[in-house]
Structure 1
Amino acid sequence: MQNTKSPSIEARLSAYLDGEVDENERREIDQLLARDAEARRLLEHLKQGSAFGASGFEAFLHDPVPLSLARRIRQGTDINPKHERVVGAPRKQRRKLWRGALAASCGMLLIGGSTGYLIGRTIDDNTPPTPVVKARTWLDDVTDAHRVYSRQPRHLVEVTAENDEEIRNWLTASTGVSFAIPDLSANKLTFQGARLLVAAGKPTAQLLFKDEDGEVYAICFQRSPTTDDSGRMIESMRDDLALISWNEPGATYVVVGPSATANFKDLADAIADVM
């Protein structure tokens, strides 16, 4: 039996797995795998490590894009922090930028492949790779609910805007959070009514508004044990939806709306002042 622990065998099997061997080498490795259980075990470890590394890299590629960057892209503004337009840069500078981008891309691929290979070396024979799953938060549930109800124009709310006193009493009793319904007419938003949601297992209030184009905005809040009174706002984006969330003592809030909204931060500030 060949010494399948040697680096040369591992390198050959890695190249074989990536389809980077010629026909003669492929036949030799096929013969080795047919007669050598240790070689087959090592190949299986390499496959598991490669798949795990690829899944981790794929998750990295699908991480949410920062809201400020996405908004600039949608609005066609310059995303270069020094306000230098790459298109109009000198030829030599463009070559440097292109080479830098190419080097960074190659580096990321090498890191992903190396990580998968090393993970494959350390996986126990009977232990499959553990997938990395991000825990859901209340913002995920709020986002899902917004997508569903914003597409139901005839059933957008449970209680309509005319019953504002009923809405305040109902949602305060249900969530344990006192609030005021903000007047957002200066932001060209009209109050439509309210719903009661469940997010992260907690009753969650949802106040719904529409702009002049029929786009739906929501203010959601729920009881929270937080004592943070900094009011620090956190921006995030879920595909075509923008979210700005913040905490107040005893409650947590989020505003949800189209990601292309130019004055979204100003809107969130106006809402936070009233809530």
Structure 2
Amino acid sequence: MQSTKGLALEVRLSAFIDGEVTDEDRKELEQLIARDDEARRLLETLKSGTAFGNKAFEEFLHDPVPLSLVRGIKQGTAANPKAARVIPAAARKTKVKIWPRALAASVTLLLVGGSTGFLIGKTSDDDARLTKTAAARTWLDDIADYHRVYSRQTAEHLVEVRPSSDGRMESWLASSVGVNFSLPDLGERGLTFEGARLLVAAGKPVAQLIYKNDSGDVFAICFLKGKPGQPDSKMTESINDDISMISWQKNGASYVVVGPSSEANLEQLADAVETTI
């Protein structure tokens, strides 16, 4: 053990608590504590902080520390070497070591602050990514998700409403979506009309007309009411994993023809729908 004389009282009392002082220093500090109220208050404060630091540090030892936090601490120290100099110059000259309990309290504060910043930063980054992802999705993404589910249903559950000859299905869809339409007859294209569903995409009602070919492949025509003043647009093809879609805008409505990505004639099918619907 080495003498702590000449060091700050806080440092000397921390060493006293840890038993890291010489006999001469210990006797001197005991006498100081006995006669000096301020020294006693400082001693009690250090004891309380040490107990809290030990307990918190022990709890942190059982919790995983984020790898990015560890890297951040290392990089911060490397980028700013002065930040690592926490021992006074006088203490370095006497080669007084950092006592375990004082170190525990310091590391605790570092981890609490660093972990809080990590969690807040991570939450902010996640929220930003979710917001960006939500903003990037379109009604076509919702349609692709629906089609992927419904196209795998059996004939009993493939549609919500079966075809009828009285026009009630068409009236129901038109009034629900706000778009008048004529039911396309795609028999010459090898497709049989199975029925319809009412969906929700981008927060708006969408009509879905469902067809099936002889191979059991499911095709759909979906449409919703467009925004006021929305101009007509040419057909655009897009691929969503195993699903191919051809979409366009016409007369204040948005349309899309959906089918398997392996279908080579989907563009011709969309042309037939566009002229008859």
Normalized against structure 2, the TM-score is what? 0.53
Match of 2:199 in 1: 197
| 5+ long unaligned stretches in structure 2 | 1-71, 80-105
> Aligned to 1:231, what secondary structure does the other structure show?
coil
Select 2:186's aligned residue among 164, 169, 184.
184
Match of 1:139 in 2: 140
Change (3 A) 1:128 1:146: closer
RMSD, aligned CA = 3.6
1: CA distance, partners of 2:231 / 2:76: 60
1: CA distance, partners of 2:73 / 2:204: 54
Match of 2:55 in 1: none
Q: Count the aligned residue pairs.
A: 179
> Aligned to 2:176, what secondary structure does the other structure show?
helix
Match of 1:265 in 2: 267
> Aligned to 2:143, what secondary structure does the other structure show?
helix
Identity across aligned pairs (percent)?
Answer: 46
CA offsets 1:219-272 (integer angstroms, 9 cap, x no match): 011111243443311221211111111111321111111001001111111111
Change (3 A) 1:40 1:240: same
Moved more, 232-241 or 174-183: 232-241
| 5+ long unaligned stretches in structure 1 | 12-34, 53-126
Match of 1:90 in 2: none
> Aligned to 2:248, what secondary structure does the other structure show?
strand
2: CA distance, partners of 1:129 / 1:177: 40
Match of 1:71 in 2: none
Select 2:239's aligned residue among 237, 249, 252.
237
| Residues 226 and 248, structure 1, Cα contact 8 Å, conserved in 2 | no
Higher relative contact order, chain-length normalized (CA < 8 Å, sep 6+)? 1
Change (3 A) 1:230 1:154: same
1: CA distance, partners of 2:246 / 2:166: 24
| Residues 225 and 249, structure 1, Cα contact 8 Å, conserved in 2 | no
Larger radius of gyration: 2
Change (3 A) 1:188 1:220: same
2: CA distance, partners of 1:164 / 1:240: 36
Matches within 5 A, 1:21-40: none
Moved more, 216-225 or 134-143: 134-143
Matches within 5 A, 1:151-230: 151-163=153-165, 165-230=167-232
